[in-house]
A and B are shown apart, each in its own frame.
Chain A
Amino acid sequence: MAGFGDYVISYSGMLASQMALNITGQNISNINSPGYTRRTLDVSTFVYNSSGIYRSTGPAAAGAGVMMNGISQLRDPYLDIRFRNQMTGVGATDAMLAGYEEINQIINDVGKDGLTAQFHDLLDKFGKLDANNVGTAEFDNLVKNSAQSLCQILNQLSSRLQSSHEGYEKKYKEEIANVNSIIENIQKLNDQIKKSDITGDSSLELRDKRNVLIDELSQYINIDVKYTSERTDTGIEVEKLVITVPNKAQGEEVQDFTLIDGSNGARISAEFGAEAGPGGDPPAVEKTYALSIGTLMDIKGNPIQGRENGPITVDTGIYGSLQSMRGTLTGLGEYSEDPETSGSRGIPYYQRSLDELARTFADAMNAVNTQDPQGNALTVNGAGNLFATKDGSAQITASNISISNAWRNGDVHIVSSIHQGSGTTANDNISRFQDIFNKDFTFGGAAEGSVIYKGKLEGFYANMQGVLGMDYQMASKMFETYASSADEINNSRDAVYGVNLNEEGINMMQYQKAFAASCRMMTTLDSLMDQVINRMGV
């Protein structure tokens, strides 16, 4: 016989189907919303056991309908972890490539009128100082102008590398600010989610926003994301998100850095250096660009005692785009004193290489115009340094190389013969100048006895481009692998949490049928009730 309890069973079925249809509608309407996670209604069988005299004593009980436990998001934490792991690699290699492309735009002069062409031009000008032309001001000027152009190209290359370094430093600062802004936003979201948890709100939109931010953060820095729980002051258990940065240092006491712990968060900073104060107090701080993670702070910015982090000192492994950017800003390659970091070649490596090239070239040219092949000082007219620094500093670099004032003024000129008083057509010293362009020079690194390159001057410049090409190719291949892997994992992830119209369409039909069936059940119960009330015993 139908009782009023049976109406409740059907009614709960209608409500659940209606709610499931609403969720389907919400899923479909958000198919294009970025970061939206597909939702589903969590239901369970509703059973209640009454007590006392109204308690059912019969062995059969149909139950009390369906209970809506809540709405959950369809996510797979395993895929999230894998995706973020690959995105760290994508961020790291992408930043590496951006750095190499920037350097390539400056030093790559293949097919252009750059440094290589100017070396050829200068050699060509020496070739024209043949027996009939030595000693003439016209041809000396041709060499001088070509040498001046060469200096200007070196100055320009150095200046462009320096501007690129400065621009990159600015970008590095901006990226660190972006990371800190993401951390702050996640902190705020964690706080709001915690409050929602306490009031029983599932706060799914906030979780979607948080997931998007965590994905973004993973490109900048290698992170581990853990979901734990915490007990509030009122005794309610709520979810707590903890984000750590793996610490790759060795040792028993080594702990991971905590970036976010619920609504508390740390900030990332880098060492941008400082000038010394008056009288050297405080002392100057070197620009190392080293990353460090600050003390954990609460949402109001108050530091939490005992939750200090520290500098990221171990440069092994990939730490995302921030670490790669640091590599571009500091990488000295073989010029580094530290053999562990000599693998990274950034802007400073190319600046240093260019300086070495400028200095070697200038020293060789000056030596030929001031000394005989045995190293004795020349006493002929016009002997003297052809190249000097334009800022008066002691060491010639690519940024300060210039033709000397004495050569510019005519006090010094190209010495065509090392023999005093030889005829105006003697050109024995010219071939020594020409030899500079064809002989092998050895370029060393910082480590004792290490050699980077041995060969012609222009060959060293070509070697710089070759080294860049090799590094670029390596980063490019790594980027391709990381990107395709991340893309594939994202597709798998999308299949779990993305809205699929086919699935939603099937769900819609299923819930519609379930709703109609519950309505039909209600009608059936109604007719049973009608039978009992109006027609029984008539």
Chain B
Amino acid sequence: MEQVIPKILILSSKFDLSCDFVTARLSEQSATYLRLNSEDLTELDIVLDPINETLVIKNDSIQYLIDSSNLKSIYFRRPVYLREYGVPFSINEQHSRVQWAAFIRNLMLFDNCYWMNHPGATYVAEHKAVQLKIASKLGFNVPETSIQNIVNVESKLLDSQERVILKGLDTVLARSEDKEVFGFTHLISKSEIESSNVYAAPVTLQKFIENKIDIRVTVIDDEIFSVSIKKNGRGIDVDWRQHKENIIFEQIILPPNINKICLELLDRLKLRFGAIDLALSGGNYYFIEINPTGEWAWLVDSSDLPIDKAIANTLMGIK
């Protein structure tokens, strides 16, 4: 049986096609790695020894031996918490999912290697209120924001605006049998929000930034890749993701002070990877949010940004 001692461990899903970009780069460089997919776990023989810090994984032909003295880095692409939304799992499936998810999180015992990102850091950084507070303290312009489950009261934000941005505090996603609902970001009139019902779940209300150009900043360690997002040469009002056609992602260089704050934000959140959404309006850059697990592979294709290479090199310790 072939024995492999991986220096890089990728915790992923088989259907996470962004990871394929990274494994292709790692393979090009003859790196020794193992991509461990959640779908494959039950098909493999797996033994984790937390005291001696070893993980042995076997399939029919290969034995992978991971130990803390050889492991250089972990690329963590799994969710940090389970979002269950109406999918009818059997008792066996629920049990298996919960226990394997815990197993993956327990790999945090490998604490001497480089994590992109560490699940603990991702957990904290996924929270929008935390992001906004830190971004503001670091010097970013941040749109006036209120998170609330009541709308027909005196509100500084609503009193001063005729229209506001409405979005969920987390991904708006729910499923029932064969259908799923998903919520984008909306621009809504003051009267509509004031006549609506939000008692059942808090909403995020934000000052509308007019005439904006969206900017996606992808940070890998200390490397920054930025694009502007336009349609027909112009910025897009509200949520650009609702537009499927004629979207151009154009490489841009941000001002040094904005790059600096982006790096400081990742540092403060203890992230090695972050996908930051900014909005440029009236010469000012506004922080919208940071996605610690944001997608990026579409930018490799659409904008020729070598993000896959940067991630692979970072995991290999090449600078």
Do chains A and B interact in one complex?
no
Interface residues of B (CB under 8 A from A): none
Interface residues of A (CB under 8 A from B): none
